Amino acid sequence: MLTELLTPPAWVILLPLATAICLAFVRDHRQAGWINLASAAGTALLSFRLPWQQTVGALLLVDPLSAHMAILTAFVGFTTAWFSLGYIRTEATAGRLDPWHLRQYHALFQAFLGSMLLALLSNNLGVAWVALEAATISAVIVVGLSRTAEAVEASWKFFILCGVGIALALFGTIVLALAATPILGPGLPTMTWTSLATAGPQMHGTLLNLAFVFLLLGYGTKAALAPLHAWMPDAHAEGPTPVSAVLAGSIPGVALVLILRLRGLLVGNPEAISPGPPLMALGLVSILLASLSLWRRRDVKRFFAFSTVEQTGVAAFALGLGGVGATFAAILHLTLHTLAKAAVFQCVGRAAQLKGGQRFTDISGLLSRNVPLGLTLAAGIVAVAGIPPFGLFTSEFLVMAETVRLQPYLAILLGLGLVIGGWALITRLITLCTGPETPNPGPAVHWTALVPAWLHLALVLLLGLAMPESVTAWFAAIAEVAR
Amino acid sequence: MTHTLAYDLSHLLGGIVLVLSFALLYQRRLMSVINIYALQAMTLTAAALWQGYSQGATELYVTAIITLAAKGIAIPVALHRIVRQLKLHRAVETALGVFPSMVLGVAFVALAVLVVLPTTAQSQTLSREDLALALSVVLLGLLMMITRRSALTQVIGFMSLENGLILAAIGITGLPLLVEIAVAFLILLAAIVFGVFFFRIRERFDSLDLSHLDVVGRTQL
C-alpha cells in the first residue's frame, strides 16, 4: 500500500510537503522566495500530467474531478508564489514582516499547498480530513503573522470557527464509517471513497442522513457558505495578500469537492434524503447575504472576500440542483472564479502596498497614474462580476439556464443576488479606478508584477470567448464522474 | 453475561464522561475547570481501554495511551502553568449564568438522544447508545465554547468537544486507527497553536479576555 507513495501522482503531494520542511531551515528570505517559486512551478508541472495518470488505489484517487481540482490548485499556487516574490520583498523592506516571520511564511505556504493537494487526491475520507485540518492550521498561523490586534483576532476567529467545523466533519466521518461497516466490514474500506461509492445504495438511509448533516455543516464551514462564513472576510482582510489569493479559491474548492462526492453517495441511496435542497438553501443564503453585504464594506479585501462567499454560493447552489448539466456549470464556475479572484487579489495587494492602506478611502483613482495596475484590476472585477467577454458570464449563464429548467422559481432569487452583487462590484470598480486620486506613498508597481494576474485573466477570457472542444469534453467527463 | 457487562461498563464510562461535561459547565474556578477536563480525559482513557478489551482491538490501547498522555496529563499540566505564569484571573467569566446553561445542556442531551437513537435503530446497540452519549458531549463542548468569555475556557470547551469525538470513535467496532491518530495529532497541534495564541493575545492586550478582541468588528465593517 505504501508503494503508492512512490508513484508519479504522489509526487505532486510530496514535493510541496518536502519543500515546506526544507524552507523551515532557509534563513534568507530572498532565497526562500525563489525556492518557493521553483517548488510551486515543479508541482504545477507535475500536476499537468495527472489527467493521464488516473489511478484508484487504497490511498490515492486520481479521477477527472480530483485531477482537475489539483491542477487548478497547483496552478494558482504557482502564480501566487510568483506574485509573492515581489510582494514579500516590498513587505520586508517596509518592515512589516521580520525574517523569522518570512521563514514561517514560506514554509507554511508550501505546507498549505501540499495539504490541499493531499486532501484533493486522497481516496480516504480520514486522510482528506487530516489534510484539510493541516491546511487550516498553516493558514491560521500565516493570517496571524503580522501580529496586529486585527490579525490576532482574525486568526483566532478563523481557528475557532474552522476548528469547530472540522470537528463536526470528523463526527460525520465517524457516522459514515458506522453506516458502512455492516456492508464493507471493519477496516480501511469504510473510509475509502471508491468502496463507499459501491456500498452507498445498501447503506442504512437514516444513518447516512446523519453523516451528511454533520459533514455538510463541517465542510460547509470550510467552504464559507453562509451562515458559516464569518471567518472568511477577517482572514482575507488581515492575512498577507498571497494567502488571500490562494485561500479565496482553494479551501472552498476542496470543501465543495468533498461535499460533491458525498452528494453522490446520498443520491445513490433510495432511503436517504435528497442532498439538493440543503445545498441549494445554503448556496442561495450565501448569494443573497453576501451580495447585500457587499454594499456596506469599506475595506477592499473584505469586500472581495464577501464576493468570494457569493461566488462559492453560486457553485454550491448549482451542485444542489443536481444533474450533469448543473454539475458541469458548478465546476466551470468554481474554476473560473478561482482564477479571476486570485488575479483580483494580486492587484488589490499591489494597490494596497502602493497606497499604504486597504480601505476604499485609501485606494481610489488608480487609472490616473498607474494605468497597467488599474486596467488589470478593472478587468479582474469585470470578470468576477460575470460580465462578458469573460468566462464567468458563461458559467453563470449555464447555472441560470439549469435553474430555469429545474427550479424556475428559485431563478428569481438567484438572478436578484447575481444582479445586486454584480452591481456592487461595478460601483466599487468605478471609484477604485476612476475616482479622485489618493496619494501614492508606496513603491510604484512595475508591469512585470502583473504578469501572473494577466495569465489568469487570459485563461478566463479564453474560456469565455471560445471554449475548445477538448476542454468541454474534459469538463463533461468531470461532471459525469461527480454526478 | 460478558456481553451485558461490556454493555453496562461502557455505558457507565460514557455516562461519566457526559456528567463531567456538565461539571465543566458549572465550574466557577479556572483551576477546577482544568482538573475536571483532565478527569474527563482519564475517564475516556478507561473507556478506550475497556472497549479495546471487550472488542479485542489492540489499537484501542494505543488510543488510550495517547489520550492519557496528551489530554490526561500533558495538556492539563501545561494549562496550569499558563494560568500561573500569566497570573490569569482565577474565576471563570461566563456570558451566560449557570442555570440557563444547565437547562440548555439538558436540552442538548435530549436532542442528541432524540436524533441518534431513532436513526441508528438497526445498528448494534452498543455503538448507537455510545454515539448518543458522544454527540451529547460534543454539543455540550460547543455550548461551553459559546458561553465562556476567556480564550482559555473556550479552548477547554473545544478539547472537551474532541473528547466526545473520541468517545464516538472508540464505540464503533473496526474503525480504522487512522482516525484516532488524526485526533491525537489534532490535539497536539491545537495545543501548540493555542499556546502561541495565548502568548500573542497576552502580549497584545495583557489579558486573555476575548472581548478586548472586538476591534475588527467595531472599526472595519
A356 touches chain B (CB under 8 A): no
Higher pLDDT, A144 or A418: A418
- The residue ranges of every structural domain in chain B are 2-214
- 3-state per-residue secondary structure call for chain A: CHHHHHCHHHHHHHHHHHHHHHHCCCCCHHHHHHHHHHHHHHHHHHHHCHHHCCCECCCEECCHHHHHHHHHHHHHHHHHHHHHHHHHHHHHHCCCCCHHHHHHHHHHHHHHHHHHHHHHHECEHHHHHHHHHHHHHHHHHHHCCCCCHHHHHHHHHHHHHHHHHHHHHHHHHHHHHHHHHHHHCCCHHHHEHHHHHHHHHHCCHHHHHHHHHHHHHHHHHHCCCCCCCCHHHHHHHHCCHHHHHHHHHHHHHHHHHHHHHHHHHHHHCCCCCCCHHHHHHHHHHHHHHHHHHHHHCCEHHHHHHHHHHHHHHHHHHHHHHCHHHHHHHHHHHHHHHHHHHHHHHHHHHHHHHHHCCCECCCCCCHHHHCHHHHHHHHHHHHHHCCCCCCHHHHHHHHHHHHHHHHCCCHHHHHHHHHHHHHHHHHHHHHHHHHCCCCCCCCCCCCHHHHHHHHHHHHHHHHHHHCCCHHHHHHHHHHHHHHC
Q: Is A323 left (phi over 0), alpha (psi -120 to 50) or beta?
A: left
Query: A15-49: per-residue pLDDT in tens?
Result: 999 999 999 888 888 889 899 999 999 999 999 99
Q: Residue A461: is it exposed, middle or buried by C-beta count within 10 angstroms (0-12/13-18/19+)?
A: middle
Query: Is residue A78 assigned to a domain?
Result: no
Question: Of all residues in chain A, what percent carry a pLDDT higher than 70?
Answer: 99
- Rounded to a whole number, what is the distance in Å from the CA of B103 to chain A's nearest CA? 22
Provide the number of structural domains found in chain A. 1
The residues in A 179-238 lying below 8 A from B, measured between CB atoms, are 181-182, 185-188, 190-191, 204, 206-207, 209-210, 234, 237-238
A97 touches chain B (CB under 8 A): no
Regions of chain B where pLDDT drops below 70: 1-3, 86-90, 120-127, 177-221
Would you state the pLDDT for residue B217? 43
Q: Name residue, grid cell 521580520.
A: A98
Q: Residue A408: is it exposed, middle or buried by C-beta count within 10 angstroms (0-12/13-18/19+)?
A: exposed
A124 touches chain B (CB under 8 A): yes
Contact criterion met (CB below 8 Å) for A66 and A124: no
Would you state the pLDDT for residue B218? 43
A178 touches chain B (CB under 8 A): yes
B135 touches chain A (CB under 8 A): yes
Question: Of all residues in chain A, what percent carry a pLDDT higher than 90?
Answer: 33
Query: Is residue A199 assigned to a domain?
Result: no
- Rounded to a whole number, what is the distance in Å from the CA of B146 to chain A's nearest CA? 11
A129 touches chain B (CB under 8 A): yes
Higher pLDDT, A365 or A380: A380
Would you state the pLDDT for residue B213? 55
Query: Is residue A389 assigned to a domain?
Result: yes
Would you state the pLDDT for residue B219? 41
Residue B76 sits at φ, ψ, to 5 deg, of -60, -40
The DSSP secondary-structure symbol of B99 reads H
Our CA angle for A117, A119, A124, nearest 5°, is 135
Our CA angle for A163, A164, A169, nearest 5°, is 95
Would you state the pLDDT for residue A116? 92
Q: Name residue, grid cell 452507498.
A: A200
- Rounded to a whole number, what is the distance in Å from the CA of A443 to chain B's nearest CA? 25
Query: Is residue A234 assigned to a domain?
Result: no
Contacts of B176 in chain A (CB under 8 A): 126, 177, 187-188, 190-191
Contacts of B123 in chain A (CB under 8 A): 178, 182, 204, 207
Query: Is residue A94 assigned to a domain?
Result: no
Q: Do B220 and A187 touch (CB under 8 A)?
A: no
CA distance A151 to A239: 7
Q: Residue B196: is it exposed, middle or buried by C-beta count within 10 angstroms (0-12/13-18/19+)?
A: middle
- Rounded to a whole number, what is the distance in Å from the CA of A229 to chain B's nearest CA? 15
Look up residue B172 and give its amino acid: I
Q: Do A204 and B185 touch (CB under 8 A)?
A: no
Most confident of A5-9, A168-172, A198-202: A168-172
Task: Report the b/e string of A330-345 with b at 16+ CB within 10 A.
Answer: bbbbbbbbbbbbbbbb
pLDDT > 70? residue A282: yes
B161 touches chain A (CB under 8 A): yes
Contacts of A210 in chain B (CB under 8 A): 115-116, 119-120
Query: Is residue A316 assigned to a domain?
Result: yes
Task: Report the b/e string of A282-312 with b at 16+ CB within 10 A.
Answer: bbbbbbbbbbbbbeebebbbbbbbbbbbbbb
Query: A444-453: per-residue pLDDT in tens?
Result: 777 888 898 9
- Confidence tier at A241 by pLDDT (50, 70, 90): confident
CA distance A183 to A134: 31
Higher pLDDT, A478 or A482: A478
- Rounded to a whole number, what is the distance in Å from the CA of A415 to chain B's nearest CA? 26
Q: Which of A371, A483, A378, A353 is nearest to A432 (CA)?
A: A378
Of the partner residues B176, B196, B197, the one whose CB lies closest to the CB of residue A188: B176
Would you state the pLDDT for residue B203? 57
Would you state the pLDDT for residue A412? 92
- Confidence tier at A466 by pLDDT (50, 70, 90): confident
pLDDT > 90? residue A75: yes
Contacts of A178 in chain B (CB under 8 A): 120, 123, 127, 131, 172, 175
Q: Residue B201: is it exposed, middle or buried by C-beta count within 10 angstroms (0-12/13-18/19+)?
A: buried
- Rounded to a whole number, what is the distance in Å from the CA of A156 to chain B's nearest CA? 8
Residues of the domain holding A448: 277-483
Would you state the pLDDT for residue B206? 55
Q: Do B213 and A149 touch (CB under 8 A)?
A: yes
Query: A347-360: per-residue pLDDT in tens?
Result: 888 888 888 888 88
Of the partner residues A134, A185, A206, the one whose CB lies closest to the CB of residue B119: A206
Mean pLDDT, residues A54-72: 89
Mean pLDDT, residues A400-409: 91
B213 touches chain A (CB under 8 A): yes
CA distances from B215 to A231, A234, B77 (A): 15, 11, 32
A151 touches chain B (CB under 8 A): no
A408 touches chain B (CB under 8 A): no
Contact criterion met (CB below 8 Å) for B49 and B168: no
Q: Which of B122, B153, B138 is nearest to B36 (CA)?
A: B153
Task: Report the b/e string of A265-277 with b at 16+ CB within 10 A.
Answer: bbbbbeebeebbe
Higher pLDDT, A343 or B180: A343
- Torsion (CA) B160, B164, B167, B171 in degrees, nearest 10: 180
- Rounded to a whole number, what is the distance in Å from the CA of B210 to chain A's nearest CA? 9
Here the ipTM equals 0.85
